[in-house]
Amino acid sequence: MNPVYHQAKFINSAPHVKDAPEDIGLEVAFAGRSNAGKSSAINTLTGQKSLARISKTPGRTQLLNFFSITESTRFVDLPGYGYAKVPLEIKKQWHRMIETYLNNRKTLCGIVLVMDIRHPLTEFDLQMVDWCKQSRLPLHILLTKADKLKFGAAKNTLLAVQKEISGAQVPVTVQLFSALKRQGVDEIHQLLDQWLNFELS
Protein backbone atom coordinates (compact mmCIF):
# COMPACT_ATOMS: atom_id res chain seq x y z
CA MET A 1 0.00 0.00 0.00
CA ASN A 2 1.31 3.43 -0.93
CA PRO A 3 0.71 5.96 1.91
CA VAL A 4 0.78 8.86 -0.57
CA TYR A 5 -2.97 8.42 -1.09
CA HIS A 6 -3.65 9.12 2.59
CA GLN A 7 -2.71 12.77 2.10
CA ALA A 8 -5.58 13.34 -0.35
CA LYS A 9 -7.41 16.64 0.11
CA PHE A 10 -10.55 18.12 -1.38
CA ILE A 11 -9.82 20.87 -3.91
CA ASN A 12 -13.16 21.99 -5.33
CA SER A 13 -16.48 21.01 -6.87
CA ALA A 14 -16.87 22.17 -10.47
CA PRO A 15 -20.32 22.59 -12.05
CA HIS A 16 -18.62 22.74 -15.47
CA VAL A 17 -15.33 21.51 -16.88
CA LYS A 18 -14.19 25.12 -17.28
CA ASP A 19 -14.33 25.43 -13.46
CA ALA A 20 -11.91 22.53 -12.95
CA PRO A 21 -8.37 22.99 -11.56
CA GLU A 22 -5.65 23.88 -14.05
CA ASP A 23 -5.21 21.13 -16.62
CA ILE A 24 -1.65 20.12 -15.68
CA GLY A 25 -0.19 17.01 -14.08
CA LEU A 26 -2.06 13.69 -14.01
CA GLU A 27 -5.50 12.72 -12.80
CA VAL A 28 -7.61 9.58 -12.51
CA ALA A 29 -11.38 9.83 -12.79
CA PHE A 30 -13.82 7.62 -10.89
CA ALA A 31 -17.06 6.93 -12.73
CA GLY A 32 -20.02 4.76 -11.92
CA ARG A 33 -23.73 4.33 -11.65
CA SER A 34 -25.32 6.03 -8.66
CA ASN A 35 -25.19 3.87 -5.54
CA ALA A 36 -22.45 1.62 -6.94
CA GLY A 37 -20.13 2.57 -4.08
CA LYS A 38 -17.95 5.15 -5.82
CA SER A 39 -17.56 7.52 -2.85
CA SER A 40 -16.92 4.63 -0.47
CA ALA A 41 -14.20 3.34 -2.80
CA ILE A 42 -12.46 6.73 -2.92
CA ASN A 43 -12.63 7.04 0.87
CA THR A 44 -11.22 3.53 1.33
CA LEU A 45 -8.38 4.11 -1.13
CA THR A 46 -7.37 7.31 0.64
CA GLY A 47 -7.84 5.93 4.14
CA GLN A 48 -10.32 8.69 4.97
CA LYS A 49 -13.89 8.28 6.17
CA SER A 50 -15.46 11.37 4.65
CA LEU A 51 -13.21 12.73 1.89
CA ALA A 52 -15.83 11.92 -0.75
CA ARG A 53 -19.35 12.60 0.41
CA ILE A 54 -21.50 9.52 0.83
CA SER A 55 -25.20 10.20 0.43
CA LYS A 56 -28.05 7.90 1.37
CA THR A 57 -29.88 9.38 -1.61
CA PRO A 58 -28.32 8.12 -4.88
CA GLY A 59 -27.76 10.73 -7.56
CA ARG A 60 -26.65 13.53 -5.24
CA THR A 61 -23.23 13.96 -6.85
CA GLN A 62 -23.99 16.43 -9.65
CA LEU A 63 -20.58 18.08 -9.85
CA LEU A 64 -17.03 17.20 -10.80
CA ASN A 65 -15.31 16.78 -7.43
CA PHE A 66 -11.51 17.16 -7.44
CA PHE A 67 -9.13 15.81 -4.81
CA SER A 68 -5.39 16.42 -4.73
CA ILE A 69 -3.07 13.49 -4.00
CA THR A 70 0.15 15.43 -4.57
CA GLU A 71 0.70 18.87 -6.08
CA SER A 72 0.57 17.40 -9.58
CA THR A 73 -1.83 14.43 -9.20
CA ARG A 74 -5.56 14.24 -8.54
CA PHE A 75 -8.61 12.02 -8.21
CA VAL A 76 -11.82 13.18 -9.85
CA ASP A 77 -15.23 11.98 -8.69
CA LEU A 78 -17.55 12.17 -11.70
CA PRO A 79 -21.32 12.60 -11.28
CA GLY A 80 -23.07 9.30 -10.58
CA TYR A 81 -25.24 8.33 -13.53
CA GLY A 82 -28.31 6.30 -14.23
CA TYR A 83 -30.41 6.93 -11.14
CA ALA A 84 -34.06 6.64 -12.16
CA LYS A 85 -35.49 9.35 -9.89
CA VAL A 86 -33.28 12.09 -11.32
CA PRO A 87 -35.13 14.27 -13.88
CA LEU A 88 -34.28 13.56 -17.52
CA GLU A 89 -32.88 17.06 -18.09
CA ILE A 90 -30.46 16.61 -15.19
CA LYS A 91 -29.36 13.27 -16.65
CA LYS A 92 -28.69 14.99 -19.98
CA GLN A 93 -26.62 17.66 -18.22
CA TRP A 94 -24.54 15.02 -16.45
CA HIS A 95 -24.08 13.18 -19.73
CA ARG A 96 -22.81 16.32 -21.46
CA MET A 97 -20.53 17.20 -18.54
CA ILE A 98 -18.95 13.75 -18.38
CA GLU A 99 -18.51 13.58 -22.15
CA THR A 100 -16.93 17.05 -22.27
CA TYR A 101 -14.60 16.13 -19.43
CA LEU A 102 -13.50 12.85 -21.02
CA ASN A 103 -12.96 14.40 -24.42
CA ASN A 104 -11.12 17.55 -23.35
CA ARG A 105 -9.19 16.93 -20.13
CA LYS A 106 -5.54 16.54 -21.14
CA THR A 107 -4.36 15.39 -17.68
CA LEU A 108 -6.73 12.41 -17.58
CA CYS A 109 -4.61 9.25 -17.57
CA GLY A 110 -7.16 6.57 -16.70
CA ILE A 111 -10.72 5.77 -15.62
CA VAL A 112 -11.78 3.68 -12.64
CA LEU A 113 -15.27 2.41 -13.43
CA VAL A 114 -17.14 1.38 -10.28
CA MET A 115 -19.84 -1.28 -10.62
CA ASP A 116 -21.94 -2.99 -7.95
CA ILE A 117 -20.94 -6.64 -8.40
CA ARG A 118 -24.62 -7.61 -8.19
CA HIS A 119 -25.51 -5.34 -11.15
CA PRO A 120 -22.50 -5.17 -13.50
CA LEU A 121 -22.28 -3.92 -17.07
CA THR A 122 -25.42 -1.83 -17.22
CA GLU A 123 -26.16 0.25 -20.30
CA PHE A 124 -24.38 3.19 -18.67
CA ASP A 125 -21.32 1.10 -17.82
CA LEU A 126 -21.03 -0.09 -21.42
CA GLN A 127 -21.32 3.49 -22.59
CA MET A 128 -18.39 4.43 -20.34
CA VAL A 129 -16.36 1.54 -21.79
CA ASP A 130 -17.15 2.90 -25.25
CA TRP A 131 -16.08 6.42 -24.21
CA CYS A 132 -12.76 5.02 -22.99
CA LYS A 133 -12.37 3.21 -26.30
CA GLN A 134 -12.96 6.41 -28.25
CA SER A 135 -10.64 8.41 -25.99
CA ARG A 136 -8.05 5.60 -25.92
CA LEU A 137 -7.95 5.72 -22.14
CA PRO A 138 -6.95 2.77 -19.93
CA LEU A 139 -9.85 1.48 -17.88
CA HIS A 140 -9.96 -0.34 -14.55
CA ILE A 141 -13.23 -1.87 -13.36
CA LEU A 142 -13.91 -2.16 -9.64
CA LEU A 143 -16.58 -4.73 -8.84
CA THR A 144 -17.62 -3.26 -5.51
CA LYS A 145 -19.58 -4.77 -2.63
CA ALA A 146 -17.90 -8.12 -3.29
CA ASP A 147 -18.63 -9.03 0.33
CA LYS A 148 -22.32 -9.26 -0.60
CA LEU A 149 -21.66 -12.45 -2.58
CA LYS A 150 -20.05 -15.75 -1.67
CA PHE A 151 -16.52 -16.13 -3.04
CA GLY A 152 -17.51 -18.54 -5.82
CA ALA A 153 -20.31 -16.30 -7.08
CA ALA A 154 -18.06 -13.22 -6.92
CA LYS A 155 -15.33 -15.02 -8.88
CA ASN A 156 -17.83 -16.13 -11.52
CA THR A 157 -19.02 -12.53 -11.95
CA LEU A 158 -15.42 -11.35 -12.26
CA LEU A 159 -14.74 -13.90 -15.01
CA ALA A 160 -17.98 -13.03 -16.82
CA VAL A 161 -17.15 -9.30 -16.83
CA GLN A 162 -13.60 -9.99 -18.02
CA LYS A 163 -14.99 -12.04 -20.90
CA GLU A 164 -17.59 -9.40 -21.80
CA ILE A 165 -15.10 -6.55 -22.09
CA SER A 166 -12.23 -8.56 -23.59
CA GLY A 167 -12.81 -7.02 -27.01
CA ALA A 168 -12.88 -3.42 -25.81
CA GLN A 169 -9.68 -2.52 -27.74
CA VAL A 170 -8.37 -0.45 -24.83
CA PRO A 171 -6.34 -1.61 -21.82
CA VAL A 172 -8.98 -2.95 -19.39
CA THR A 173 -8.44 -4.63 -16.04
CA VAL A 174 -11.06 -5.93 -13.60
CA GLN A 175 -10.93 -6.76 -9.91
CA LEU A 176 -13.10 -7.57 -6.90
CA PHE A 177 -13.37 -4.85 -4.26
CA SER A 178 -15.05 -4.35 -0.90
CA ALA A 179 -14.82 -1.08 0.99
CA LEU A 180 -16.34 -2.77 4.05
CA LYS A 181 -13.75 -5.57 4.14
CA ARG A 182 -10.96 -3.50 2.55
CA GLN A 183 -10.67 -6.20 -0.09
CA GLY A 184 -8.66 -5.34 -3.18
CA VAL A 185 -7.12 -2.09 -1.88
CA ASP A 186 -3.50 -3.09 -2.52
CA GLU A 187 -4.38 -4.31 -6.01
CA ILE A 188 -5.85 -1.02 -7.17
CA HIS A 189 -3.15 1.00 -5.40
CA GLN A 190 -0.55 -0.82 -7.51
CA LEU A 191 -2.38 0.11 -10.69
CA LEU A 192 -2.84 3.74 -9.63
CA ASP A 193 0.87 3.90 -8.81
CA GLN A 194 1.58 3.02 -12.44
CA TRP A 195 -0.94 5.47 -13.88
CA LEU A 196 0.21 8.36 -11.68
CA ASN A 197 3.93 7.53 -11.91
CA PHE A 198 4.31 6.98 -8.16
CA GLU A 199 7.20 4.97 -6.82
CA LEU A 200 7.34 3.50 -3.34
CA SER A 201 10.29 4.73 -1.36
Q: Please, how many CA atoms are within 13 Å of residue 106, restricted to the half-sphere of its CB?
A: 6
Residues present in the chain in total: 201
- Please tell me the predicted confidence (pLDDT) of residue 156: 97
Q: How far apart are the first and last CA of the chain?
A: 11
Q: How far apart are CA 174 and CA 169, in angstroms?
A: 15
- Please tell me the predicted confidence (pLDDT) of residue 81: 74
CB contact at 8 A, 143 and 115: yes
- Three-state SS at 12: strand
**Is the pTM of the predicted complex or chain greater than 0.85?**
yes
CB contact at 8 A, 47 and 6: yes
Domains annotated for the chain, with CATH where assigned, are 4-196 (3.40.50.300)
CB contact at 8 A, 114 and 36: yes
- Three-state SS at 82: coil
- Please tell me the predicted confidence (pLDDT) of residue 201: 44
**26: Cβ contacts below 8 Å, ≥ 6 apart:** 72, 73, 74, 107, 109, 195, 196, 197
- Please tell me the predicted confidence (pLDDT) of residue 65: 92
Name the residue among 131, 143, 128, 135 with its Cα closest to residue 173: 143
CB contact at 8 A, 158 and 174: yes
Name the residue among 106, 93, 100 with its Cα closest to residue 21: 106
- Please tell me the predicted confidence (pLDDT) of residue 63: 86
- What does pLDDT average to in each consecutive run of 10 residues of the chain (201 residues)? 91 92 97 89 94 64 88 93 70 84 94 96 89 90 97 97 88 95 95 88 44
DSSP-assigned states of every residue in 42-74: HHHHHT-SSSS---SSTT---SEEEEEEETTEE
Name the residue among 70, 82, 69 with its Cα closest to residue 113: 82
Q: Please, how many CA atoms are within 13 Å of residue 76, restricted to the half-sphere of its CB?
A: 29
Q: How far apart are CA 130 and CA 133, in angstroms?
A: 5
